[in-house]
Structure 1
Amino acid sequence: MPDPARFEILSGLGAKGPACIRLRTGRHVWLLDIGSGPEADAPFHPEWLDGADAVFISHDHVDHIGGAVHAVRAGLPIRCTAQTARALPPGARVQVLPERGETVIDGIRLVTGRDGHALGGIWMWFDLGEGLFYSGDWSAESRWFAFDMPRVTAGTALIDCSYRRDDVSQDRRRVELDATLDALAPEVQVLFPVPPSGRAGELALHLLPRGGVTLDDTCREAVRVALASDGVTPRARDLRPLLDRPFDPAARYLICDTPDADGGMAARMVQDWRGQGRLGRDARVVFTGHMTSPARAIVDEGGLFRRWNVHPPLHDQIAMVRQLRARRFAPLFCEDPADYLSEPGFAAAPLLDGWGLL
């Protein structure tokens, strides 16, 4: 008789760190995400792969996919969407998952849906016990990425709570960003460092009515791929004119890779502006996501932080857990998950010990 299905959160509970969850189905051992970072001192631990039969990856951001090279070296099959597979190292044994739909793997039904967070990103529901839902990163507020609300029930929900109990809506975030930009003198250039498959398109869509928007080559290609996919909303088509325009370093609003300005065109622009004595004066850097140490150093030089929601605020976390009719949930990717013990909105118990039976 097979052992009961169970899960163990190897990393991702109690910190904004690498995502990695071990799922024992009773017959096999699967890993859900194999991340590293986002901080430099948060690596993927290869021993997490011990005993694993396969890897499932929710999306292509480093804190969910950064350990993929170890899975490839181990010869493990990697199950992810075709878009996410583009970010895998050469030699990966890819088994493609649908962005939305049902798959049966080793007799276990898996339902996937678009996560509203990254191109090709998915949430996953496993038909084990009372049901296990793993969100990866997700957002229900995006005007760029498509999001599929799950139509399943799950006794256990492992959900992205990166913003903890912050409950500021994306509509409010847009107003705050606009106010910041409106307060800058017209001659000030603004750099938005972004993950190309993440906020690049969304910020471009928001800034488009202002004019003067340019995408670096990496972001422009990511937007091009997104527009050819089923992963974005109909409004995304408004960005098509930007695809024919080369990157203009003299534009008012620059959207560039990487998100912490520690590489890519974003790093080059910061270096140029610093050398010209412009950084923090008539050339400003606006960070909109999680900031690692390179980004924090730039803020100290006159950069700005204005959060752009790419994870769920509290009211959406609550709505998700209620939608799933979960009895318990693990608040992932945040510090102090015990804070959820005092949050009355959830009709489920916070799971803080990092494992459980299904």
Structure 2
Amino acid sequence: MSQLQILSGLGDKAPAAMLLDTPDARLLIEMGGPLEPGLPRGWDLPADRPVDAVVISHDHVDHMGAVDLLPAGMPVYATEPVVASLPQRLDRRCLPLQGQIDLAGVTLRCGQAGHSLGGVWLHFEIGGGVLYSGDFSLESTLFRFDPPPSAALALLDASYGVYDRAQDECRKALERCLSMPTLLPVPASGRALEMALWLDDLGISWAMDQRCAEQLDRLLTLPDGCFQPGARSRLARLAVSTDLASAQVVLVGSPEGIGPVIEPLIARGDRQLIYTGYLPPKARGDVQSGRAQWLRWNVHPRASDLCSLAEAVNAGQVVPLFTSLEDDTAWRRMLGPRFYRPRDAVIALD
């Protein structure tokens, strides 16, 4: 008998962590840390018996920020771009960006999730198939999304809840605000490079910090098949400036606006500050105080995207992750009989 226990991420925008027990192994899926220093992680490694290996979908802090808890030599599976950011004391093993491996007697398929550099969905061949989407997007103009195989159970990123505004509308709203000098805190391995391509197309002067520039170098080592058509050649043509003082728009890769690079830029007061993603408490305080504004740039699925993916994989049960489920009326209306909220966060798989 195999089972999946959701340690964190069910019913709230919380760090991702799930425990998959099979007859042959115990696998920890994700090692999510808090989205802002000082916040609680909210979950612990199992105490009854150790895990045999860890699988990580992508390199954002709420999915791998707790890897320092792992003992030396622990096998950790991630794609090559993500492996590069893991501590060297771990037994780092590569997942394919597109393909499959045998992991502890289970076939694990991976495909690109359209969300970030090296980010993948994970499909475990257990029962009728278990799909964990990680964070995903069907709207990225940079990162490719590979269609997953059928899955009886789909655990899907629902970070935006029932929100359903198209990315084109989001871009237009942000563009209207860029006539004055602007500071955009962005995940370096996520929307930073997609925004850079967009700003370049608009003819707006932009610069990025060294962290974002390093991600561009990593992206350019990947084959064309990792990107949307034509995106890699567009990246190669980018003329990158790291002069943050003179550009109209500055992209800073500190996680969601937290860190030593961004605070001096904010304190100068000569740029408007616009957040475009999840707001941890510090960033939320900036917006509430009028120090910043917030305009979403879609990097997670809209409600219609989530429903489309559930339909495409013919899921019998869909568990929305990283979102509130206190009032599940809207979810039941959207997903119908597919909607599933597991009791005690434990799911029997076969």
Within the alignment, does 1:232 sit opposite 2:221 as a pair? no
Deviation at 1:5, TM superposition (A): 1.1
User: How far did residue 247 of structure 1 move?
Assistant: 2.5
1:333 aligns with 2:322: yes
Counterpart pick for 1:115 among 105, 113, 116? 113
Q: Which position in structure 1 is the counterpart of 2:244?
A: 248
1:198: which partner in 2?
A: 190
Secondary structure in 2 aligned to 1:47? Answer: coil
Unpaired segments of 5 or more residues in structure 2?
Answer: none
1:57 maps onto 2:41 in alignment: no
> 2:40 and 2:198 mapped to 1: Cα distance?
33
Query: Can you list the C-alpha shifts for 1:154-191, whole angstroms capped at 9, x where unaligned?
Result: 1111110000111111122112212233xx4xxx2101
Return the alpha-carbon distance in structure 2 between the equivalents of residues 342 and 357 of structure 1.
21
Contact 1:224–1:243, Cα closer than 8 Å, also in 2: no
Which residue of the partner structure matches residue 351 of structure 1?
A: 341
- Tell me the distance in 2 between the aligned counterparts of 1:268 and 1:144: 30
Distance 1:206 1:349 in 2: 36
Which residue does the alignment assign to 2:297? 308
Aligned to 1:266: 262
* Letter of the 1:55 counterpart: V
Q: Which secondary structure state, in structure 1, belongs to the residue aligned with residue 45 of structure 2?
A: helix
Contact 1:157 1:328 in 2 (8 A): yes
Aligned partner of 1:37 among 34, 37, 48: 34
Give the equivalent residue in structure 1 for 2:12. Answer: 15
**Equivalent residue number for residue 320 of structure 1:** 309
How many residues get paired? 340
Deviation for aligned residue 1:113:
0.2
Aligned residues of 1:162 and 1:311 also touching (Cα < 8 A): yes
Deviation string 1:191-213 (CA, Å, 9 cap, x unpaired) is: 11011101110111111123211
Asked whether the equivalents of residues 19 and 64 of structure 1 are also in contact (C-alpha less than 8 Å), the reply is yes
SS at 2:282's partner residue? helix
In 2, are the aligned partners of 1:140 and 1:316 still within 8 Å (CA)? yes
State, as a whole percentage, how many aligned pairs show the same letter: 32
5 Å matches for 1:20-169? 20-39=17-36, 40-43=38-41, 45-48=43-46, 50-71=49-70, 73=71, 75-150=73-148, 152-169=149-166
| Contact 2:35/2:62, CA 8 A, preserved across alignment | yes
How far apart are residue 337 of structure 1 and its match? 5.6
Q: Measure the CA separation in 1 of the matches of 2:215 and 2:204.
A: 20
Change (3 A) 1:240 1:331: same
Please give the per-residue CA displacement for 1:209-229, whole angstroms capped at 9, x wherever unaligned.
232111111111111211221
Quick check: 2:256–2:283 contact (8 Å CA) kept in 1?
yes
1:283 is aligned to 2:271:
yes
CA contact (8 A) 1:318 1:345 kept: yes
Which structure 2 residues correspond to residues 179-190 of structure 1 after superposition, within 5 A?
179-181=176-178, 184=179, 188-190=180-182
User: Secondary structure at 2:89's aligned position in 1?
Assistant: coil
Contact 1:81/1:97 (8 A) holds in 2? yes
Distance in 2 of aligned mates of 1:66 and 1:80: 14
Q: Flag the 1:345–1:129 CA change in 2: closer, same or farther, 3 A.
A: closer
TM-score (norm 1): 0.90
Residue 199 of structure 2 is matched in structure 1 by 207
* Secondary structure in structure 2 of the residue aligned to 1:133: strand
Deviation of 1:264 (Å): 4.4
Counterpart-to-counterpart distance in 2, 1:90 and 1:263: 24
Letter in 1 for 2:293: L
Shift of 1:74: 5.2
- 1:159–1:332: 8 Å Cα contact kept in structure 2? yes
Q: TM-score, normalised by structure 2?
A: 0.91
